[in-house]
A = this chain, B = another copy of it.
Amino acid sequence: MAETNATHEPIRFETHPERYVHWRLEFPAEYGGAVARVVMDVKEERGLRPGYPLKLNSYDLGVDIELADAFQRIRFEHPDVRAVIVTSGKDRIFCSGANIYMLGSSTHGFKVNFCKFTNETRLYLEEMSAESSITSLCALNGTGSGGGYELAIACDEIVLADDGSSAVSFPEAPLLAVLPGTGGLTRLVDKRKIRRDLADAFSTIAEGVRGKRSVEWGLVDESPPKAKFEEAVKRRVDGILARSKRKAFPKMTLPPLEVKRSDKGAEYKYVSVAFDPKARTATLTMRAPTGKEPQNPEELAKVGASAWAVQAFRELDDALLDLRFNQPLIGVVAVKTTGDAEAVLAVDAMLSKHKDDGLVREVILLMKRVLKRMDMTAKSFFALAEPGSCFVGSLLELALASDRIYMKDSEDDEVSVATSPMNAGLFPMGNGLSRLHTRFLKDPTQVARVLEQGAMTTPEALKAGLVTFAPDDIDWDDEIRIAFEERSAMSPDAMTGMEANLRFAGPETMETKIFARLSAWQNWIFQRPNAVGERGALTLYGKPERPEFNWNRT
């Protein structure tokens, strides 16, 4: 396999519109701040790694990190925005998708994590529409192929210029022997509800579909002649603005996170990560608020992004991405909390009381997205509730998102956990259910009981089904040590597959379909010689040789 297996430079996920290389975030004057234009204009030579010019607005992870940042900033820093236009700054090309040479030269693990991140970004765009009433329109002023069209169908509406050449297409299967793996196949049949036979034909026509037929097949919503393109976009944007119900609120600026990184881990204000490379484990600790936290939305707006709920969860998000991309050898993560449980519960009380306030709502949605990022992280998480821990309310979600919860049954030093109103559905998982609901699928009445119960001692929490194991003072150290040793000795692949199957019981949504069905198949295909072997289609793309396939159907 032509893969670069060398450890790459650490990837960092923070950026700012002033530093964007590949996108422009514009607020057209004619809409008075109600519309954000996200303009893709990729700089060919500024890929994250050398070796693959980003031609034709193709993208790599660096391009997508900027896009994710733009979506986050629109929500917090531009509360007046009610419509987002996604478009291209280049002529005749919207976006040609993930860069093929980048994919071809990436390790399997990087490919999988890259696709996961880009999937999350597209789901965030859809969540922005569903939850924050910021509707998106893709103005396809040129061809959108592969990941380019996948970005388009993540938008609410699509206008494609009918100029005789601009098309939408999924050339992955016919040209590269892989799948449109960033939600494309799922969104065709489950979001746009395109008939399976038309979706089949579309996904095998490398050159794609243009103009009238693209509307007939349901691939785009409108395909006006080039001369009427801007007019059509404007008409749709005006319609979106008229329908939007987004509530006004004071903007919140997101400053850079302060973090001290070393070989041993990372220290944020509220989050610490300590690596133990030899054991292939890490410890992730989240701290409760220590000072005065906002008592109401007005104070929250004044305090801004240094409020615990925002800063701690932004730090957690960054720490999770660092674990995913920069710490591939770490398999098991101990999840801990420390500090004043009452301080966490006070924040939760404020947030849940004012959950309908525009800014508070955005903060809760941010926390929700970060917790989902944890659900989707391919590491084993074991939560450890010890004396001094504060697994309560929004921090209890960290335990509920973990694969197991160990709670010390201590003679002298009582440990407790507690629910808060934040556990009652404000942080749904990808399956649409709260973590408590998913946990108690067998007896959903237990959800209400646990929510009412408040603080619980170890025996109470064990009885209530919140805790997996509750070793006492004598057994704790040994049991925890053995649990981590055993887990980190198991095949990383088997653990990833097992966790992906056990974490998401209950209903399936488009989101869980994308991460489970589509991504699992794509991961399989990303291993197959027909795609990534020496003579595979992905490997040979752009070379004079034709790929050679093993014709066995599996």
Contact A494 B196 (CB under 8 A): no
Among the 9-residue stretches A38-46, A86-94, A242-250, A435-443, the one with 4 or more Cβ atoms under 8 Å from chain B is A435-443
Q: For window 461-503 of chain A, which residues contact chain B by CB distance below 8 Å?
A: 465, 468-469, 486-487, 490-503
Q: Are A379 and B553 in contact, with the CB atoms below 8 A?
A: yes
Q: With A468-B201, A494-B173, A498-B185 given, is the CB distance from A553 to B109 under 8 Å?
A: yes
Quick check: A493 and B174 within 8 Å, CB to CB? Answer: no
Q: Which residues of A in the span 511-554 have a Cβ within 8 Å of any Cβ on B?
A: 512-513, 516-518, 520-525, 527-528, 530-531, 537, 547, 549-554
Contact yes or no, A193 B441, CB < 8 A? yes
**Pairwise interchain contact A494-B530, C-beta atoms closer than 8 A:** yes
- Of all chain B residues, which has the CB nearest A439? B195
CB-CB under 8 A from A266, the residues of chain B are none
A498 near B554 with CB under 8 A, answer no
User: Across the interface, which residues of B come within 8 angstroms of A403, CB to CB?
Assistant: 196-197, 200
In this complex, the interface size class of chain A, counting residues with CB under 8 Å from chain B, is: 35 or more
CA separation between A152 and B441, bound complex, in Å?
A: 21
Q: List residues of chain B with CB within 8 A of the CB of A513.
A: 508, 516
Checking B197, B404, B493, B531 against A177 with a beta-carbon cut-off of 8 angstroms, the contacting residue is B493
A188 CB contacts on chain B under 8 angstroms: 502
CA distance A238 to B188 in the complex (A): 50
Cβ-closest 9 pairs across A and B: A177-B491, A508-B508, A520-B520, A193-B442, A189-B505, A516-B517, A497-B521, A185-B501, A197-B468
Q: A204-B498, A280-B551, A521-B523 are in contact. List 16 more A-B contacts (CB 8 A).
A: A173-B498, A177-B490, A177-B491, A185-B501, A188-B502, A193-B505, A195-B440, A197-B402, A197-B405, A203-B502, A492-B552, A493-B525, A495-B553, A496-B521, A508-B508, A527-B527
List A residues at the B interface (Cβ < 8 Å).
107-109, 112-113, 172-174, 176-179, 185-186, 188-190, 192-201, 203-204, 218, 280, 328-331, 378-379, 402-405, 438-442, 465, 468-469, 486-487, 490-503, 505-508, 512-513, 516-518, 520-525, 527-528, 530-531, 537, 547, 549-554
A–B pairs, 28, beta carbons within 8 Å: A172-B494, A173-B490, A174-B486, A177-B494, A179-B497, A185-B501, A193-B442, A197-B403, A199-B502, A203-B502, A330-B553, A491-B531, A491-B549, A492-B530, A492-B550, A492-B553, A493-B525, A493-B531, A494-B525, A495-B553, A496-B554, A497-B521, A501-B518, A507-B508, A516-B520, A517-B520, A523-B524, A524-B524
